[in-house]
């Protein structure tokens, strides 16, 4: 089953599945989706956690061992596999397909990938992961959705801002949700809970735009 990152909270409130795969082009949404899954698993009693990270010489038997070996203290566990470059190598596809064919009992498995292109999403192993568990797609927000996303972040801190101020933050961050989240955190440190005016926001928010690197030297000289 495939869900957007924004829908994950509702899915976790309904149940904790035995398998989650997180991938997508937005690093903040992917990071937060994985954190939500870890927290939900912990709250459901999956107290122990094993973390594996793939590399050039990664032994895919480690995944099966981690899942089948069970908790050190006899309880339930979370097995997290991180694939930093999105590459599975020669043995990875078969190992994941086999793993999904017999998911271990008493274990929640979390697979964390970066963005995967359309070719990877057409593979058998990707389809197997999607069919066997919950596939969380952490894709960038549409530009028009970012002010509302910022407003929700502000409200979590007991703050709010008018549409002009929200649009100002969104325009300065240019779709970079990491930068927008940092600005929201900074506003929470600078101002008490309540409504923020445009002047307050404009004074606090830095320009997080992506500049041309060739402008660095002239700017430094200036």
Q: Write out pLDDT tens, residues 10-27.
A: 999 999 999 999 999 999
Mean pLDDT estimate for the chain:
92
Average pLDDT over residues 108-127: 96
Residue ranges of the alpha helices (H) in 51-123? 61-69, 92-101, 118-121
Q: What is the pLDDT of residue 219?
A: 79
User: Please, which pLDDT band fits residue 45 given cuts at 50, 70 and 90?
Assistant: very high
Q: How far apart are CA 37 and CA 131, in angstroms?
A: 18
Q: What is the pLDDT of residue 207?
A: 56
Is residue 71's pLDDT more than 70?
Answer: no
Is residue 74's pLDDT more than 70?
Answer: no
Q: How many CB atoms lie within 10 A of CB 158?
A: 10
User: Please, which pLDDT band fits residue 213 given cuts at 50, 70 and 90?
Assistant: confident
Is residue 72's pLDDT more than 60?
Answer: no
Helix 61-69 to helix 92-101 angle (10° resolution) is 20
Is residue 151's pLDDT more than 80?
Answer: yes
Is residue 139's pLDDT more than 90?
Answer: yes
What is the SS3 assignment for 48? strand
Helix (H) or strand (E) segment spanning residue 3: strand 2-4
Residue percentage of the chain with pLDDT more than 90: 84
């Amino acid at each position: 089953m495939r869900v957007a990152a924004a829908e994950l909270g509702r899915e976790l409130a309904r149940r904790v599945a035995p398998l989650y795969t997180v991938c997508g082009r937005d690093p903040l949404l992917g990071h937060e989706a994985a954190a939500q899954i870890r927290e939900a698993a912990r709250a459901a009693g999956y107290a122990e956690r094993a973390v594996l990270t793939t590399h050039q010489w990664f032994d895919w038997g480690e995944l099966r061992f981690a899942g089948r070996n069970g908790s050190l203290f006899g309880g339930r566990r979370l097995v997290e596999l991180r694939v930093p470059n999105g590459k599975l190598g020669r043995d990875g596809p078969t190992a994941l397909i086999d793993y999904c064919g017999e998911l271990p009992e008493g274990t929640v498995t979390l697979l964390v990938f970066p963005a995967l292109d359309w070719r990877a999403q057409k593979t058998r192993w990707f389809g197997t992961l999607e069919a066997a568990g919950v596939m969380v797609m952490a894709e960038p927000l549409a530009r028009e959705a970012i002010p509302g996303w910022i407003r929700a972040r502000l409200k979590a801190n007991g703050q709010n801002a008018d549409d002009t101020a929200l649009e100002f933050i969104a325009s300065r961050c240019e779709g970079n949700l990491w930068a927008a989240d940092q600005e929201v955190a900074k506003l929470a440190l600078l101002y008490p809970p309540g409504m923020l005016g445009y002047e307050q926001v404009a004074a606090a928010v830095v320009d997080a735009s992506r500049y041309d690197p060739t402008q660095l030297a002239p700017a430094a000289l200036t």
